[in-house]
Amino acid sequence: MFISNTCKENSNTMNSEKLSTEYLICTNCQKVLRKIVQANSVDGHTDLLFLEEYSTTGHLDNATQVMGLHPQYLESFLRTQYYILRMDGPLPFEHRHYLAIMAAARHQCSYLINTHVNEFLQVGGDGEWLNGLEHIPQKLKNLNEINKILAHRPWLITKEHIKKLLKTGENSWSLAELVHAMVLLAHYHALASFVFGSGIYPEIDQDSSQSFRAPAISNFCGCSVTNQNNKEDVLFMNSSPGTSDSVSELENLMERMKRLQEEKEEEEEASQEEMATRFEKEKKESLLVATGAFEDEVIPTSYISRYVEDPSFGYKDFARRGVDHLPTFRAQDYSWEDHGFSLVNRLYSDIGHLLDEKFRMVRNLTYNTMAIHEDVDTTTLRRAIWHYVHCMFGIRYDDYDYGEVNQLLERSLKVYIKTVTCYPERTTKRMYDSYWRQFKHSEKIHVNFLLMEARMQAELLYALRAITHYMT
């Protein structure tokens, strides 16, 4: 049962009404909750999820509204986020929200920073900490390096980083605390990718979580969602309808998917050497994707920079050439299913099950549609997107043919994927509009789910592998 902050404040005069088996809401909140349902008449499942989120947090944010286009995923996402933020766990509640601020600041995501500044204060956090990192306890400050590396170059995390955090005297971390912190940091790095990729902007009432602003989500093409860094008064979700070129683009993609499936059924499986060669080719080609677009450094505002050390540290292509080149992360040596899941679940009880459900949910989520076409198997396309993200982070799966990536993901989509995943704060409306022009916006939001979850899993794989090396 969840009771909102508003309800708690009115508990002395609470005239409760059971709205469902999961809600016990005070009379003052019931009117607001009914407004949510009326403004978001998507379907019954989504309505209940929105009600639950409002009753838990006291407001309904824009990210949740956009995710509501896919209620199955939203339910899994909210369950996981609720667990890492609000359920019993190794970390104090104020530390959780401050870590969310630190994670979001790496990508200059004021939307998430503002949300968790409010949450931090609501759970009794020390307002002095909000003046910057120099005002926080040394134990939290010690996570700066891990936060920075995990956000931008997770392949650099080693057992030495883990050892340093666990062996720092009175400011040392326990393994359970560290795993909780890493899950939380990875969650908010990835969520920043979703926020920028979907063009989500801060709520008008973000400084006052008790007020309610009716969302414009019933007609998503008119959704009041826009990129924080895009100063034009243009909505991400107001793209022009499909042209003959975009129709041709869609038909060509479907033809490539069909041909790929037919070839897989007829051809013999490629050798391991050939599969490795295709991976290396795709990894090196990712170097050429929009390299010129990311040369100029984006300087954080003073408000954000107080939560950031070494702001110039950012993503560098895993496949870069040089003496510091690192070996590929081979999934058969350390995978989520066989290694990461059991370790994280052992050190931070039950989170492994929630994460695993979320990863599986987004990878298997399908409505068997592509734009105006129905009864389409989109498995190969979803798989190509997931593996392309992991490829950019240097993770290779022996049983996946990376030739599929080049056949299914055109350059404009690769540019979008790389930007949202690696440099989310630089995402633009033009990038969003440039790929899959005839597809529904809900389908592009589905792509953003894949990018968010693939990124989070990649970060966790490197972090958990380092912990495993430390423990052994």
Kindly list the catalytic residues: 109
Farthest-apart Cα atoms in the chain, separation: 72
Residue 18 identity (one-letter amino acid): K
The candidate with the shortest Cα–Cα distance to 394, out of 247, 250, 284, is 284
3-state secondary structure of 1: coil
Q: How far apart are CA 105 and CA 280, in angstroms?
A: 33
- Tokens coding 103: 């994670």
The candidate with the shortest Cα–Cα distance to 289, out of 404, 425, 431, is 431
* CA 232 from centre of chain: 25
C-alpha distances out from residue 229 to 59, 304, 429, Å? 24, 14, 10
Dihedral sign of CA atoms 278, 279, 284, 285 in order:
positive
Q: For tokens 């469902």, what's the residue?
A: 20
| Residue 454 dihedral angles phi and psi, to the nearest 5° | -65, -40
Residue 38 identity (one-letter amino acid): Q
Which residues sit opposite 214 in a β-bridge? Answer: none
